[in-house]
């Protein structure tokens, strides 16, 4: 009975939490299927999308019954609805698919040539995606999920001169426990971040250089305690096991075969205090990640998106026309590799008005790899990107006739194999070996990234110059909390995040 009561209270607590941010489901009115990546505009100001499962949440800022939402998606009639009307419909929005013969919009019924369309796409890239050069401020929500799925993680001590038998036994037990925990509970972490991303120019050596600036509004991280997906962090955790058994007054170094020596390590308090002052700058790394996303999704220059900027590498097939909005339509093209340097299959949605690619969905061809290194027999290292898919959506710039990146979703998978001998060396005049061991890691690293531009605005050069960046800290979470983003518009998390719990 107590257990049942506890369960009911838990459910009630969840409902109360979610009631603060009602969750809306967008579906096809005919099939009932969820509609992913539908555009939602609030009172003609902020724009966001439904997630991959067709859901979005209503933040505190738009909870008023009078707040107007405009919902649109390729192939569907645009829908306008107030929050009050949405409540009456149990937070379900059903979009009506356009079902009529689109060929009637043409005088000729001749089937369009996909290669002619792609030629016009390429010729218009500089026009459709050019930068105005005016400083801008974008409100961006960014989500990153990283996980390691190890099939093998093994550390074996092959030689020891610096430890007693008892210390060696304890150390091996620690290492085995560490390896088992990694396999039983693979590391995974979720990062959410809302920020203002500034783009402007600064004068350096009489030249104007484009420099991004970042203002973090809020950032959260959800992971298991000290677990980390980064290999460097895992190596550090393994090294810490050895540190527990070392002389606190001495200095040591890890050495890995042909690679050379790693950083000096010690348990001396003064040494570590000095070393810990040199920390990775979260602001810089986050800004680099956002800039990389914008560069990767740039149809003009991206090497990965060569199915747009190098159409000669691919085969294209016309797949019909689709309603976009009002009197606009898009061509739908399928693409597949023609030459060996082409790696992807997918679909493009091309504006019939100005030949801008409004959306692309791509997937790595099965059996292909994007990049990698194989020195398995020389250095004991092999890495390859063997999975990759994504969706990119561009939107008309409110300030000019060009387009800007509204949404980016990418998932990559990398196979990893490491089989390396390591030595722990005491730093004396003769560098005395303390222990030798082998470390073996095999598995897959999965990375998922989502980027959503909620609003774009032009600012003055003076506003850009005056803004000063500040370092930020992540709010550490032990479980998904639906109330933590209640005042902000974000991407509704998938069930994977909602079901995550920290394991003690």
So where are the chain's domains? 2-128, 136-304+370-473
C-alpha 369/C-alpha 367 separation (Å) is 7
Kindly give the residue spans of alpha helices, DSSP state H, lying in 361-503: 461-466, 495-498
Mean pLDDT in the chain?
82
Whether 362 and 344 have beta carbons less than 8 Å apart is answered as: yes
> Looking at residue 432, what is its pLDDT?
72
Q: CATH for 2-128?
A: 2.60.40.1120
Range picked from 17-31, 200-214, 328-342, 422-436 for highest mean pLDDT: 328-342
Identify the residue with better confidence: 434 or 315. Answer: 315
Summarised one tens digit per residue, pLDDT across range 218-256 is 999 988 765 555 555 666 666 667 666 666 677 777 776
Kindly give the residue spans of alpha helices, DSSP state H, lying in 136-226: 165-184
**Mean pLDDT computed over 452-474:** 94
**Mean pLDDT computed over 423-452:** 81
3 state SS of 103: helix
Q: What is the pTM of this model?
A: 0.82
Report the candidate in 267, 275, 272, 236 with the shortest Cα–Cα distance to residue 251. Answer: 267
Which residues face 152 on adjacent strands? 442
pLDDT band at 501; cut points 50, 70, 90: confident
C-alpha 440/C-alpha 154 separation (Å) is 5
Per-residue pLDDT at 470 exceeds 80: yes
> Looking at residue 12, what is its pLDDT?
37
pLDDT band at 19; cut points 50, 70, 90: very low
Summarised one tens digit per residue, pLDDT across range 334-390 is 999 999 989 999 999 999 999 999 999 999 999 888 876 666 655 567 778 888 999
């Amino acid at each position: 009975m107590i257990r049942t009561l506890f369960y009911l209270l838990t459910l009630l607590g969840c409902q109360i939490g979610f009631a603060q941010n009602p969750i809306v489901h967008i579906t096809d009115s005919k099939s009932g299927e969820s509609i992913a990546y539908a555009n939602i505009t609030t009172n003609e100001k902020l724009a966001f999308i439904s997630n991959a499962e067709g859901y979005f949440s209503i933040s505190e800022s738009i909870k008023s019954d009078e707040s107007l939402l405009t919902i649109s998606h390729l192939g569907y009639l645009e829908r306008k609805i107030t929050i009050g009307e949405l409540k009456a419909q149990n937070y379900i929005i059903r979009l009506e698919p356009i079902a009529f013969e689109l060929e009637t919009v043409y005088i000729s019924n001749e089937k369009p040539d996909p290669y002619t369309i792609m030629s016009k796409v390429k010729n218009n890239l500089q026009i459709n995606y050019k930068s105005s050069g005016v400083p801008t401020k974008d409100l961006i929500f960014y989500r990153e999920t990283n996980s390691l799925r190890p099939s093998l993680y093994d550390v074996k001590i092959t030689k020891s001169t610096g430890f007693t038998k008892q210390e060696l036994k304890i150390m091996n037990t620690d290492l085995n426990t560490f390896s088992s925990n990694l396999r039983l509970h693979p590391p995974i972490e979720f990062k959410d971040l809302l920020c203002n991303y500034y783009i402007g120019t600064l004068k350096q050596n009489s030249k104007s250089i484009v420099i991004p600036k970042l203002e973090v509004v809020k950032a959260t991280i959800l992971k298991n305690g000290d677990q980390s997906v980064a290999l460097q962090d895992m190596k550090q955790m393994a090294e810490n096991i050895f540190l527990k058994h070392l002389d606190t007054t001495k200095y040591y170094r890890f050495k890995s075969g042909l690679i050379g020596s790693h950083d000096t390590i010690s348990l001396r308090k003064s040494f570590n205090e000095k070393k810990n002052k040199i920390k990775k700058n979260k602001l810089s790394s986050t800004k680099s990640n956002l800039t990389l996303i914008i560069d990767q999704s740039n149809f003009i220059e991206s090497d990965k998106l060569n199915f747009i900027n190098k159409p000669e590498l691919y085969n294209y097939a016309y797949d019909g026309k689709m309603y976009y909005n009002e009197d606009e339509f898009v061509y739908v093209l399928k693409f597949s590799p023609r030459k060996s340097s082409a790696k992807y299959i997918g679909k493009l949605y091309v504006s019939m008005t100005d030949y801008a690619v409004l959306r692309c969905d791509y997937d790595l061809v099965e059996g292909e790899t994007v990049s990698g290194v194989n020195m398995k027999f020389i250095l004991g290292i092999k890495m390859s990107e063997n999975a990759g898919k994504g969706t990119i959506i561009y939107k008309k710039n409110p300030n000019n006739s060009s387009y800007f990146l509204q949404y980016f979703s990418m998932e990559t998978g990398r196979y990893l194999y490491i089989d390396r001998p390591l030595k722990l060396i005491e730093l004396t005049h003769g560098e005395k070996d303390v222990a030798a061991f082998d470390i073996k890691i095999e598995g897959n690293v999965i990375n998922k990234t989502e980027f959503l531009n909620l609003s774009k605005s032009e600012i003055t050069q003076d506003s850009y110059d005056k803004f000063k960046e500040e370092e930020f800290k992540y709010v550490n979470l032990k479980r998904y909390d639906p109330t933590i983003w209640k005042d902000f518009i974000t991407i509704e998390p998938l069930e994977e995040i909602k079901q995550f719990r920290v394991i003690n």
